[in-house]
């Protein structure tokens, strides 16, 4: 219930009173939960995080993965994370910044990782996603292809796949596509 | 003036039955009489958020319920596909801002009502804008927008020393929502009934298809649309982000989706389905909007006048098969970070951030170690990761009072490991901080009044 007579009174005082409160920015529930996720990060040595917009914007950050085993060992891959104001209701939007030759990542940086899409659940967190990305590099799989050509090579000719990965990580053209050096 | 009174009194015949007569089911503050009716017209200021299907209905219903000071905020322009249900709009209005046309049309038809339109995003308005309304009524279709307005309205809420909400700071919200034949109407009295965030689980997460399915094995029209929206768009428009409110962008996605559907022999891609999938909207039904809006307008009238107890607190309507409607009383999450009281802590103005963090370890309700501290969008200290720890470390020696811009009171969010023994776990808590030397003057004034 509101009390109209109080509103009446308040309208006269309003201008006088409104100075008492700090203007303050509205905090989204997503920002608060993200603060918790970030302060609890426990990353594998191969992963690091950075905040290009400084310490007060946690909603946009970058994660760099330097795989220490597997096909991509020695490479360096940076992902951008965009967090929604209703996180963790909505999953983060994650993209790979540079072109990478990978069966589960397309050439525009889209990532096929189940927990980013169909299997996202609010009990998951940023740490889970970073581990998920890390595993994409140690264990790329041909069953969820986003780059169908790379997936086919991985399935049919792992040696050629390993060679292609090395070649693209060194930078240069493969077919029509220019890869930047990332090692 | 006299003439308009006469015409409005005949128009308010039914309303008068509610407002002029006593009753048994009325709210505790109800004082029937013409004074109440006049005050309602003069002093109640209602904000309608959204001027779409629900918003059009709400403006009409509220205007006809005797409210005279209405404002409406919406960032969209009218599209042809709106015209079947957003009944305030005509073909010649296509391309005009919804808020402006809706306000104009209702004012033309309902004498005495004044509606101020705001053609902008809800985030563009200052907090003061929202604080001036008696009640905020929501006719929205997105979780994000609801969550934002909820955070703003709950931000005005203050608690007294017994952790009870201070009545004058409660900003009531009435929230309507529809999806096809289903809908809900709810009353949110921050601090008294659950806020949007307390019950966010009521909104099921959006269905998301695996990207690899979209890229390799599409089977449905929605798969084709999401492929065009999520994958093809980026491939073609390097760097330019997709704007769901730009009709040209939507048209492009529709045409790409149609091409892909043809390639895979999948039927059913239409422009309106494209809009529906991309914006996650289930086609709206005019009658559902009308029913939900009527419920919302009535609740608004009840809150403003006290002429009846409000619904407590969540009404669902389902017209898919026959008709099913039900009111559920959800409960507040007492630890809700948005509407909950938080834990009260009183501090000296000289206390540094480091001392404050140390105090949290001994606080009986917290026992929190390794705390990170956030105030009003600023991270004062982050215990981890090392990069952020380093960036925020220099704050530790500064007085918290100064870090909080010398505000006598404020809300602080802390995260860390809290609890006792086996029950220690990481948690996020809201604290209400008051500074002693500054606070005392206020307390004296309150005591003396
Ligand atoms: Zn809440």
Could you give the ipTM of this predicted complex?
Answer: 0.83
Tell me the sheet residues that pair with A65. Answer: A47, A77
Q: Kindly state the DSSP code that residue B366 receives in the 8-state scheme.
A: T
What confidence tens digit (pLDDT) does each residue in A99-152 have?
999 999 999 999 999 999 999 998 999 999 999 999 999 999 998 899 999 999
Asked if the C-beta of B354 comes within 8 angstroms of chain A's C-beta atoms, the answer is no
H helix or E strand, kind and range, residue B373: strand B369-375
Cross-chain residue pair A43–B234, CB shorter than 8 Å: no
Asked if the C-beta of B402 comes within 8 angstroms of chain A's C-beta atoms, the answer is no
Rounded to whole angstroms, how far apart are CA atoms A12 and B281?
A: 43
pLDDT of residue B88: 96
Q: What is the mean pLDDT of residues B204-215?
A: 85
Secondary structure class of B68 (helix, strand, coil) = coil
Cross-chain residue pair A35–B127, CB shorter than 8 Å: no
Categorize the per-residue pLDDT at B9 as very low, low, confident or very high, splitting at 50, 70 and 90.
low
Tell me the sheet residues that pair with B414. Answer: B373, B429
SS3 per-residue string spanning chain A: CCCHHHHHHHHHHHHHHHHHCCCCCCCCHHHHHHHHHHHCCCCCCCEEEECCCCCCCCCEEEEEECCCCCCCCCCCEEEEEECCCCCCCCCCEEEECCCCCECCECCCCEECCHHHCCCCCCCCCHHHHHHHHHHHHHCCCCCCCCCHHHHHHHHHCHHHHHHHHHHHHCCEEECCEEECCCC
Number of helices and strands in chain B (H, E): 17, 13
Q: Which of residues 49-88 of A touch B (CB under 8 A)?
A: 49-51, 54-56, 58, 84-86
pLDDT of residue A7: 60
The rounded Å distance from CA B73 to ligand 1 centre is 24
Cross-chain residue pair B211–A84, CB shorter than 8 Å: no
Asked if the C-beta of B188 comes within 8 angstroms of chain A's C-beta atoms, the answer is no
Cross-chain residue pair B203–A89, CB shorter than 8 Å: yes
pLDDT of residue B169: 92
Q: Which residues from chain A sit within 8 angstroms of residue B376, using beta carbons?
A: 22, 24-25, 27
What confidence tens digit (pLDDT) does each residue in B300-355 have?
999 999 999 999 999 999 999 999 999 999 999 988 999 999 999 999 999 999 99
Of all residues in chain A, the percent with pLDDT exceeding 70 is: 86
Domain boundaries, chain B: 8-204+283-328, 211-278, 343-446
Q: What is the mean pLDDT of residues B177-197?
A: 95
Asked if the C-beta of A91 comes within 8 angstroms of chain B's C-beta atoms, the answer is yes
Secondary structure class of B294 (helix, strand, coil) = helix
pLDDT of residue B316: 97
Rounded to whole angstroms, how far apart are CA atoms B50 and B56?
A: 8
Give the closest-approach CA distance of A41 to chain B in angstroms: 6
Cross-chain residue pair A110–B231, CB shorter than 8 Å: yes
What confidence tens digit (pLDDT) does each residue in B378-422 have?
999 999 899 999 999 999 999 999 999 998 989 999 999 988 877
pLDDT of residue A10: 60
What confidence tens digit (pLDDT) does each residue in A156-181 have?
999 999 999 999 999 989 888 899 99
Minimum mean pLDDT among B115-119, B170-174, B239-243: which range?
A: B239-243
Comparing CB atoms, the residue among B36, B209, B212 nearest residue A144 is: B212
Mean pLDDT of chain A: 87
Rounded to whole angstroms, how far apart are CA atoms A117 and A113?
A: 7
pTM here is 0.87
For A25-179, CATH number out of 3.20.20.70, 3.40.50.300, 3.10.110.10, 3.30.70.1090 equals 3.10.110.10
Secondary structure class of B4 (helix, strand, coil) = helix
Is the pLDDT score of A25 beyond 60? Answer: yes
Contact between B147 and A86 under an 8 Å Cβ cutoff? The reply is yes
Is the pLDDT score of B114 beyond 80? Answer: yes
Handedness of CA B148, B153, B158, B159 (dihedral sign): negative
- Read off φ and ψ for residue A44, nearest 5 degrees: -65, 155
Q: Kindly state the DSSP code that residue B96 receives in the 8-state scheme.
A: S
Q: Is the CATH number of domain B343-446 3.10.105.10?
A: no
Q: Which of residues 239-268 of B touch A (CB under 8 A)?
A: none
Is the pLDDT score of B5 beyond 80? Answer: no
Please check whether the two domains, B8-204+283-328 and B343-446, share a CATH topology: no
Asked if the C-beta of B388 comes within 8 angstroms of chain A's C-beta atoms, the answer is yes
Rounded to whole angstroms, how far apart are CA atoms B178 and B156?
A: 27
For B211-278, CATH number out of 3.40.50.10170, 3.40.605.10, 1.10.10.520, 3.40.718.10 equals 1.10.10.520
Mean pLDDT of chain B: 90
Classify B8-204+283-328 by CATH class.
Answer: alpha beta
Categorize the per-residue pLDDT at B7 as very low, low, confident or very high, splitting at 50, 70 and 90.
low
Rounded to whole angstroms, how far apart are CA atoms B53 and B289?
A: 6
Is the pLDDT score of B117 beyond 80? Answer: yes
Rounded to whole angstroms, how far apart are CA atoms B446 and A21?
A: 16
Rounded to whole angstroms, how far apart are CA atoms A92 and B165?
A: 34
Measuring CA to CA, how many Å separate A127 from each of A47, A116, A153, B48, B385?
11, 12, 31, 40, 12
Give the closest-approach CA distance of A167 to chain B in angstroms: 23
Give the closest-approach CA distance of B51 to chain A in angstroms: 22
Tell me the sheet residues that pair with B117. Answer: B72
pLDDT of residue B280: 78
The rounded Å distance from CA B199 to ligand 1 centre is 7
CA angle B204–B210–B214, rounded 5-degree value: 120
Asked if the C-beta of A32 comes within 8 angstroms of chain B's C-beta atoms, the answer is yes
Categorize the per-residue pLDDT at A48 as very low, low, confident or very high, splitting at 50, 70 and 90.
very high
Categorize the per-residue pLDDT at B4 as very low, low, confident or very high, splitting at 50, 70 and 90.
very low
**In terms of pLDDT, which residue wins out, B280 or A38?**
A38
Indicate the Cα dihedral angle B147, B150, B152, B158, nearest 10°.
-140
Strands of B193-347 (E only): list them.
Answer: 314-318, 324-328, 343-347
Comparing CB atoms, the residue among A26, A49, A108 nearest residue B155 is: A26
B407: which residues sit within 8 A by CB, 6+ positions away?
Answer: A22
pLDDT of residue B50: 96
Q: Is B185 exposed, middle or buried (0-12, 13-18, 19+ CB in 10 A)?
A: buried
Domain boundaries, chain A: 25-179
Give the closest-approach CA distance of A22 to chain B in angstroms: 6
H helix or E strand, kind and range, residue B185: strand B182-188
Is B56 a known active-site residue? no
Cross-chain residue pair B415–A2, CB shorter than 8 Å: no
Cross-chain residue pair B144–A32, CB shorter than 8 Å: no
Comparing CB atoms, the residue among A8, A35, A90 nearest residue B374 is: A35
Exposure b/e, B254-284, CB count within 10 A at least 16 = b? bebbbebbeeeebeebebebbbbbbeebeeb
Is the pLDDT score of A12 beyond 70? Answer: no
Q: What is the mean pLDDT of residues B216-222?
A: 93
Handedness of CA A84, A88, A89, A91 (dihedral sign): positive
H helix or E strand, kind and range, residue B173: strand B173-179
């Amino acid at each position: 219930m509101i009390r109209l007579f109080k509103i009446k009174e308040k309208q006269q005082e309003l201008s006088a009173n409104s100075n008492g409160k700090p203007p303050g920015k509205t905090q989204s529930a997503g920002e608060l939960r993200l603060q918790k996720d970030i302060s609890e990060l426990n990353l594998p040595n191969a992963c690091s995080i950075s905040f290009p917009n400084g310490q007060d914007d946690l909603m946009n950050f970058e994660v760099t993965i330097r795989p220490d085993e597997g096909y991509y060992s020695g490479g360096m891959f940076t992902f951008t994370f965009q967090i929604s104001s209703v996180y963790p209701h909505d999953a983060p939007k994650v993209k790979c910044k540079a072109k990478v030759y990978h069966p589960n990542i397309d050439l525009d940086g889209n990532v096929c990782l189940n927990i980013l899409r169909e299997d996202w659940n609010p009990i998951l967190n940023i740490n889970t996603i970073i581990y998920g990305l890390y595993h994409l590099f140690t264990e790329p799989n041909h069953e969820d292809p986003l780059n169908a050509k790379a997936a086919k090579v991985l399935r049919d000719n792992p040696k050629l796949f390993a060679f292609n990965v090395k070649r693209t990580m060194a930078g240069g053209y493969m077919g029509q596509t220019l890869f930047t050096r990332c090692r | 003036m006299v003439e308009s009174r006469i015409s409005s009194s005949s128009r308010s015949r039914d309303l008068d039955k509610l407002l002029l007569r006593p009753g048994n089911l009325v709210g505790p503050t109800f004082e029937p009489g013409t004074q109440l009716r006049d005050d309602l017209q003069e002093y109640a200021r209602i904000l309608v958020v959204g001027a779409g299907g629900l918003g059009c209905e709400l403006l009409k219903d509220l205007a006809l319920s005797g409210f005279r000071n209405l404002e409406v905020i919406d960032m969209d322009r009218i599209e042809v596909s709106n015209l079947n249900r957003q009944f305030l709009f005509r073909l010649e209005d296509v391309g005009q801002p919804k808020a402006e046309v809706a306000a104009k049309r209702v004012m033309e038809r309902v004498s005495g009502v004044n509606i101020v339109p705001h053609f902008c995003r809800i985030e563009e308005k200052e907090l003061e804008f929202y604080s001036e309304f008696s009640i905020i009524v929501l006719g929205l279709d997105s979780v994000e927008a609801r969550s934002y307005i909820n955070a703003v309205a709950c931000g005005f809420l203050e608690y007294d020393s017994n952790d009870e909400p201070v009545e004058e700071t409660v900003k009531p919200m009435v929230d309507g929502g529809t999806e096809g034949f289903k809908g809900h109407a709810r009353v949110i009295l921050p601090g008294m009934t659950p806020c949007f965030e307390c019950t966010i689980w009521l909104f099921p997460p959006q269905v998301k298809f695996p990207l690899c399915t979209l890229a390799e094995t599409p089977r449905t029209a929605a798969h084709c649309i999401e492929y065009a929206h999520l994958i093809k768009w980026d491939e073609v428009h390097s760097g330019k982000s997709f704007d769901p409110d730009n009709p040209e962008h939507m048209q492009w996605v529709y045409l790409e989706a149609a091409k892909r559907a043809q390639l895979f022999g999948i039927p059913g891609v239409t422009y309106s389905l494209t809009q529906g999938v991309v914006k996650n909207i289930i086609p709206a039904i005019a009658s559902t909007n009308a029913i939900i809006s009527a419920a919302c307008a009535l609740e608004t009238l009840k809150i403003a006048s006290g002429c009846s107890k409000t619904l407590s607190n969540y009404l669902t309507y389902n017209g898919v098969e026959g008709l099913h409607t039900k009111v559920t009383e959800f409960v507040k999450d007492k630890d809700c970070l948005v509407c909950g009281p938080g834990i009260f802590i009183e501090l000296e103005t000289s206390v540094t951030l480091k001392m404050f963090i140390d105090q949290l370890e001994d606080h009986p309700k917290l026992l929190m170690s390794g705390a990170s501290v956030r105030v009003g969008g600023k991270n004062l200290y982050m215990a981890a990761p090392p990069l952020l720890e380093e960036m925020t470390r220099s704050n530790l020696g500064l007085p918290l009072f100064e870090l909080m811009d010398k505000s006598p009171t404020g809300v602080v969010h802390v995260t860390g490991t809290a609890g006792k023994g086996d029950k220690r776990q990481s948690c996020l808590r809201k604290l209400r901080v008051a500074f002693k030397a500054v606070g005392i003057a206020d307390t004296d004034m309150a005591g003396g009044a």
